Structure 1
């Protein structure tokens, strides 16, 4: 295997996530790996770390969202690095086994997922850089009265609360909330209309 691939896999992030990965039932780890592969193939918008954390906890695994995010990042990086260097299943599994001393059932999941799905990543043009751009999943807004706000200085005046759900390049689904004055929202809306008009000419 190329030295570059060995070096990248050695820094894949499994070390700080190893204990959690080992504690996962094989079916849940397989589910995580499958979601990671689908995200890297741009077949899904990302891995919902909150939902995944809830599933882990329901199975009796003691964890939190931050730890789940570390595992998601490690698995994404593992498969994207394997695709980047076009690693065979044996090379990938042997490298992970030698660096992280993972149990056989965990290695079996990695072997199975890469055998079944790895070629799809290798065959796609995106395998050169398997970090899809962030995607906007949902956009919600509502008008309310500013009672306490960092951004709306004039309290007891109308303001607009915007909630965005974004799938980041790492695969994490994040919700971002912010407030704008009516004038700021009007400018925001105007810019969207200008973008829409520009896209119609493309």
Structure 2
């Protein structure tokens, strides 16, 4: 459906693409009323959805210029160049918007934490236990409210938590 972009004169294409990128970044999308003489409503929606997908995918997956051009097959090379130029010029802005959108998936934020290491000497079932336990107290702020969460973990659960946090950190570092 990217081919529909060619209904718009080449000189007006950058303006539309930049307005579309504005929409991806959380600002106003281009309006159908401004471009209704070029496309039907169905064509407009298909084209906007396709181009939005191309921009988000190109930045989110860090596609090379060649890969972006492959996703624009069917579009003449002059229009491909315009799309690529707009994408290159605003790549960082799109990436920032995608990261912010990802961060808002959960409104919960860790405000503070405290931990204690304890040695459980016995339990109601075993007289001699001698197992180290970690008590982790988290203060989580969600929707402006502070909510305390307490977790008790044994050695294996702690190792699992540390491995998960390290994996999450690697993903965050790759986004930078």
**Scaled by the length of structure 1, what TM-score is found?**
0.45
Change in 2 beyond 3 A, CA 1:127/1:26: farther
1:200 to partner: Cα distance: 10
CA distance in 2, matches of 1:81, 1:128: 16
CA-atom RMSD in angstroms: 3.0
Distance 1:66 1:73 in 2: 11
Q: Structure 2: where are the runs of 5+ without partners?
A: 106-142, 147-176
CA contact (8 A) 1:32 1:72 kept: no
Deviation at 1:79, TM superposition (A): 0.4
> Which 4+ runs in 1 deviate beyond 3 A?
127-130, 199-202
Partner of residue 89, structure 2: 116
Query: Do residues 96 (structure 1) and 71 (structure 2) align?
Result: yes
- The aligned residue for residue 52 of structure 1 is 35
Q: Encode CA deviations 1:31-67: one digit per residue, 9 max, x unaligned.
A: 221111111112x1322122222xxx2xxx4x32221
CA distance in 1, matches of 2:78, 2:32: 23
Q: 1:127 to 1:77 in 2, by over 3 A?
A: farther
Q: 1:35 to 1:201 in 2, by over 3 A?
A: same
For the residues of structure 1 that align with 2:86 and 2:97, how far apart are their CA atoms?
Answer: 20
1:39 and 2:23 correspond: yes
TM-fit CA distance, 1:101: 2.6
* Range with greater deviation from structure 2 (106-115 or 26-35): 26-35
**CA radius of gyration, larger in:** 2
Tell me how many residue pairs correspond in the alignment: 108
Question: What is the alpha-carbon distance in structure 1 between the residues aligned to residue 74 and residue 43 of structure 2?
Answer: 19
Report the counterpart of residue 60 of structure 2 in structure 1: 84
Whether the 8 Å CA contact 1:36–1:47 is kept in 2: the answer is yes
Structure number with higher relative contact order (C-alpha < 8 Å, ≥ 6 residues apart): 1
Displacement of 1:127: 4.1
> TM-score normalized by structure 2?
0.51
Matches within 5 A, 1:1-202: 14=1, 17-18=2-3, 20-42=4-26, 44-53=27-36, 57=37, 61=38, 63-93=39-69, 95-97=70-72, 100-122=73-95, 124=96, 126-127=98-99
Counterparts of 1:129 and 1:201, CA distance in 2: 22
